[in-house]
Structure 1
């Protein structure tokens, strides 16, 4: 089996902001490592190049479950990977404020 290494680097924005309202950024809520771990731990469905930028819009419900609202990326394989890696997964308590909409911009680098 081919060994894959995923490096998750936040380049465009390492802060989490309320979607459409950058003025209300919370400096205490930096991009959590837990999201990066979920992206890295998930084996991709497609054995394609996942490198690229993505903007992931999501909420976290009262049970700390991630609900992906939108993924914007020019790489269709990266969009699919973000959805499968994050949507429906449980996060640790107090990782995000519940029922708020967040957008995270990432640069995902694939080396396989």
Structure 2
């Protein structure tokens, strides 16, 4: 059995860290920039792979919804992008500016159980 940190070379980079493609929408490019910035700041590791992928896919949904005139799809995906981003950013340590959402996320993070070794 392989260790959780052993990935194929193609899977080495987190989703969103690969270069933008020419046909990427402005929203997808912005999501990639955000992921790159968070990774450069040291906030992301392998545990964030699914959140990075989710952010890219939600950015694609926003673009598709916008182009097809589906405002409700755009609004729902945009709200989920914000929620995904908030899960990717570490808790603020002290200070003001926290709201109920930040407190909920912090409570969820503190109450999460550590992953179990399945071997």
TM-score range (shorter-chain normalised) is under 0.3
The TM-score, its normalising length taken from structure 1, stands at 0.27
Q: Between Structure 1 and Structure 2, whose CA radius of gyration is higher?
A: 2
The TM-score, its normalising length taken from structure 2, stands at 0.26
Between Structure 1 and Structure 2, the one with more helix by share is: 2
Task: Kindly indicate whether structure 1 or structure 2 has the higher relative contact order, using CA contacts under 8 Å at least 6 residues apart.
Answer: 1
